[in-house]
Amino acid sequence: MMERYPRFTLHLNHIAENAAKVAGLCAARGVTVEAVVKGVCADPRVAGAMLDGGCASLADSRVQNLAFLKKEFPTVPRTLLRIPMKSELEDAVRYASRSLVSVPESVAALDDECRAQGAEHAVLLMFDLGDRREGVVTDAEMGAFVAALKKASHVTLVGVGVNFGCFAGVLPSPSALRRLCLYRQAMEEALGYSVPLCSGGSTSTLALLESGELPAGVNHLRVGEAILLGRDVSRQRLVPWLRQDTAWLEAEVAEVRIKPSIPEGESGADAFGNLRVFADEGPRRRAIVAIGRQDVPAEALEPQTPGIKVLGASSDHTILDVTDSAEPLAWGSRVRFSVNYAAMLALMTSPYVCKDNTD
């Protein structure tokens, strides 16, 4: 049978190797690693590779994926990464071992749902330490959580956590993480029981671990991007001790033609509302590959063939300048791209992209 394109391939052995390196570095400093699998839509083969590499648990933002993970890995702890909506608490209790919470009302509601299901549930209390996404902002807010947790009979605080880099791009700092450790201590004293986890962020926190600046009290990280791609988008770096050859996209060429480099006629916004300006470089050889913004953001694609440039994309077509391509391209040729985390997330979500795994 002829292979179908576009095709997104994940190299499982390389992902497992990255997981082992991350888990090993963390273990040497008393930190456990939770594998974040939302970037691959909880693909069980990828999740298994991350577990084989030494990750202790799995995490995803969607309860639908957690349901799948529970079936595939029933004994592995599962964390709901997105703070739960009121409308999904039934599924959160049924499929997640623990949830991240940021409002005290969710603790009481989770406790009610646990009683209804005859279940127990753990929560991590999130603190906003600068990135301005979810979490407690002031010390005074902690009192409401203490009260809610003391009333709860089926919900237990298992940790405190923080998010960095995902909204405002704020990077983790030793001082912010020391504050998180103090919040953990304060919650233990107020509740009268041990709160074992201090979850200090995600891939962007690894740099502090590498430099020896991670506070000793931080003992848990939620890592996806570094393991899956060997990258750290928040710090705009390729992690030097990890592999980047873990995933690639192949798209098929549907047209190759020499065309003027500037448009002709009166111009308005493109299909996505952008006003674009083009430089006049004279006639250029262009290729169209059959993938577009419905599947992946064009700016997240990096051609692996030297000399190829991504010019932009519409919904279903990505336009390449291949004038200086190191390899000749014709109708039916395939172009391979490296991807970043945003591209991986979109490609794995798109039903129009074939997914493939290789050892």
Residue 193, judged by CB atoms within 10 A of its CB (0-12, 13-18, 19+), counts as exposed
Four-residue CA torsion sign, 173, 174, 179, 184: positive
Q: Among candidates 254, 229, 267, 235, which has minimal Cα distance to 348? A: 229
Residues 274 and 279: their CA atoms lie apart, in Å, by 16
Contact indicator for 51, 58 with CB cutoff of 8 Å: yes
| SS3 (DSSP) at 335 | strand
Contacts (Cβ under 8 Å, ≥6 apart) of 287? 253, 255, 256, 319, 320, 322, 329, 333, 335
- Catalytic: 38? yes
- Per annotation, catalytic residue among 21, 38, 151, 259: 38
Contact indicator for 41, 349 with CB cutoff of 8 Å: yes
Rg (CA), the chain: 23
- Residues designated catalytic: 38
